[in-house]
């Protein structure tokens, strides 16, 4: 008993580890529920591995699936999946704070520190207020999205089913999860402006990050925003525009865009650009896009969404810091400057660390899948699947269900790491402590 108490106390002193464990426990509980026979339409258990894969994909708001969500799962199974998506999208500690708020319980210092870590906040001051805002903001966005989607889903599926479909897809889109109940994502609605723009708007808002959304609401004008918000918004806009133009040019005459006019192709390209960075919905057949578009999608997935958001990837701000530091170096500047602000060296070093860890993880994982599958799939498809899992995107070239068990386990680990963050996981496991080191003389190394 004393050992257990000491273990709990040690964990509480390591907020990143608490976040990692909380996600792990939610996934385990989701696995148990989804492996029950009542979760499957055929009355048989889907199996522990497939239940674990689905629970991880839902909790880590990814969207990769091994069975068709619409056809395989019962109402019970679908409720479990959307609950896992909501918990994973908000963040486990934010969800626990919601329970505390509802029960009118005081949120202690330790929980405040953990919440601060999960939403990447600078201080514990006002963290409960921010958590409350995140919950209210999420509910408002999801209800608004469901309302817009209902204008099309209710006529198509009837009142009850249309409302449930609207709520499910709104939550899935805002949390950047990509799960759908239609059976082929939104390919049936690839020319529908309302469906495309509503889901895209939910993806963008959820992917910008809660702190950015709050900053925009409070300050309204771009020039008054904090630097973090300016970088997140600017990089997101640039990636969306570049992605849209890229898909439009590369897929204009392709089989994937067949039957669409110029407006329809532009709409599909815009949706693909938005969704590819983290959401996992698709309005065109991914298996029919060109290899060039696959590479473009991989790049967008790897960058991902913004910090403190419902998305994954190395994050837009990490990419922004690396991009501007490269530009500054090429220009001969001593410091990295963004919007007339100097970026601290520790921010640059953390960005390099995240990029390095993510790159190594993706390379080694894709190599592992290539060895395990032994020529069953093209490497580009495997790389696509690997980055999709790490970036918690969820788009697939249709190979997920056919992968071997060990390959699925690797993707499960990638989804988990992608959601909690490679740096957060590393810090949680290493449990670093600040130490004073001797300052050595400078040494020179020739690079490049």
For 241-290, write each residue's pLDDT tens digit: 999 999 999 999 989 998 899 999 999 999 999 999 888 899 999 989 99
Rounded Cα gap, residues 294 and 54, in angstroms = 24
Residue 272 Cα distances to 251, 252, 276, 340, angstroms: 11, 13, 6, 33
Maximal C-alpha separation, the chain: 74
In 3-state terms, what secondary structure has residue 147?
helix
Rounded Cα gap, residues 122 and 120, in angstroms = 7
Domain carrying residue 347: 2-429
315: in domain: yes
Token pair, residue 420, equals 């909690």
Rounded Cα gap, residues 245 and 423, in angstroms = 32
14: in domain: yes
- Which of 117 and 28 is assigned the larger pLDDT? 28
Mean local confidence (pLDDT), 59-74: 91
The tens digit of pLDDT for each residue in 117-161 reads 666 666 666 677 777 888 888 999 999 999 999 999 999 999 999
pLDDT at 101: 63
442: in domain: no
Token pair, residue 214, equals 């709050």
441: in domain: no
Exposure of 435 by Cβ count < 10 A (0-12 exposed, 13-18 middle, 19+ buried)?
Answer: exposed
Q: How many domains does the chain have?
A: 1
Look up the pTM and report it.
Answer: 0.89
Q: What torsion do the CA atoms of 168, 68, 38, 166 make, to the nearest 10 degrees?
A: 10
In 3-state terms, what secondary structure has residue 40?
strand
Residue 344 backbone dihedrals phi, psi, to 5 degrees:
-60, 150
447: in domain: no
Exposure of 291 by Cβ count < 10 A (0-12 exposed, 13-18 middle, 19+ buried)?
Answer: exposed
Rounded Cα gap, residues 127 and 90, in angstroms = 14
Q: Which of 228, 251, 111, 90 is nearest to 171 (CA)?
A: 90
Q: How far apart are the first and last CA of the chain?
A: 56
445: in domain: no
Sign of CA dihedral 244, 250, 252, 256: negative
195: in domain: yes
**Burial annotation 135-144 (CB, 10 A radius, 16+ → b, else e):** bebbeebbeb
The tens digit of pLDDT for each residue in 336-371 reads 888 888 889 988 998 998 899 899 999 999 999 999
Rounded Cα gap, residues 12 and 112, in angstroms = 11
323: in domain: yes
């Amino acid at each position: 008993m004393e050992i257990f108490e000491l273990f709990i106390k040690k964990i509480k002193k390591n907020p990143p580890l608490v976040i990692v464990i909380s996600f792990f426990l939610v996934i385990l509980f989701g696995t148990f529920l989804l492996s029950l026979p009542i979760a499957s339409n055929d009355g048989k258990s889907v199996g522990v591995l497939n239940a674990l894969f689905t629970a991880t994909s839902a909790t880590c708001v990814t969207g990769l699936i091994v069975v068709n969500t619409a056809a395989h799962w019962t109402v019970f199974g679908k409720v479990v999946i959307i609950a896992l998506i909501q918990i994973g999208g908000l963040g486990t500690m934010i969800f626990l704070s919601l329970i505390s708020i509802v029960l009118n319980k005081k949120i202690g210092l330790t929980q405040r520190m953990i919440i601060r870590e999960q939403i990447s906040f600078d201080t514990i001051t006002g963290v409960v207020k921010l958590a409350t805002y995140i919950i209210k903001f999420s509910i408002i966005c999801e209800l608004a999205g469901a309302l817009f989607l209902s204008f099309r889903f209710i006529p198509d599926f009837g009142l009850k089913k249309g409302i449930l479909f609207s709520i499910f897809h709104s939550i899935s889109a805002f949390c950047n999860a990509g799960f759908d109940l239609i059976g082929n994502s939104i390919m049936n609605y690839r020319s529908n402006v309302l469906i495309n723009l509503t889901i895209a708007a939910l993806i963008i808002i959820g992917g910008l990050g809660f702190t950015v959304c709050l900053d925009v609401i409070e300050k309204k004008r771009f020039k008054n925003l904090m630097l973090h918000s300016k970088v997140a918004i600017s990089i997101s806009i640039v990636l969306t525009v570049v992605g849209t133009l890229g898909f439009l040019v590369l897929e204009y005459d392709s089989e994937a865009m067949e039957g669409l006019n110029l407006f329809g192709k532009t709409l599909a390209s815009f949706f693909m650009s938005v969704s590819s960075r983290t959401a996992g919905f698709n309005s065109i057949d991914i298996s029919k896009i060109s290899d060039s578009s696959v590479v473009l999608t991989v790049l967008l997935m790897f960058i991902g969404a913004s910090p403190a958001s419902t998305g994954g990837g190395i994050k837009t701000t990490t990419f922004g810091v690396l991009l501007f530091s490269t530009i500054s170096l090429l220009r001969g500047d001593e410091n990295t400057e963004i919007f007339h602000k100097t970026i601290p060296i520790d921010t640059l070093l953390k960005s390099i660390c995240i990029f390095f860890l993510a790159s190594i993880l993706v390379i080694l994982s894709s190599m592992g899948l290539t060895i395990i599958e032994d020529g069953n799939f093209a490497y580009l498809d495997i790389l696509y699947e690997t980055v999709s899992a790490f970036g918690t995107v969820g788009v697939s070239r249709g190979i997920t269900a056919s992968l071997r068990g060990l390959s699925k386990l690797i993707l499960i680990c990638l989804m988990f790491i992608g959601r909690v963050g490679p740096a957060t996981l590393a810090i949680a496991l290493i449990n670093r402590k600040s130490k004073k080191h001797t300052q050595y003389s400078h040494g020179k190394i020739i690079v490049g």
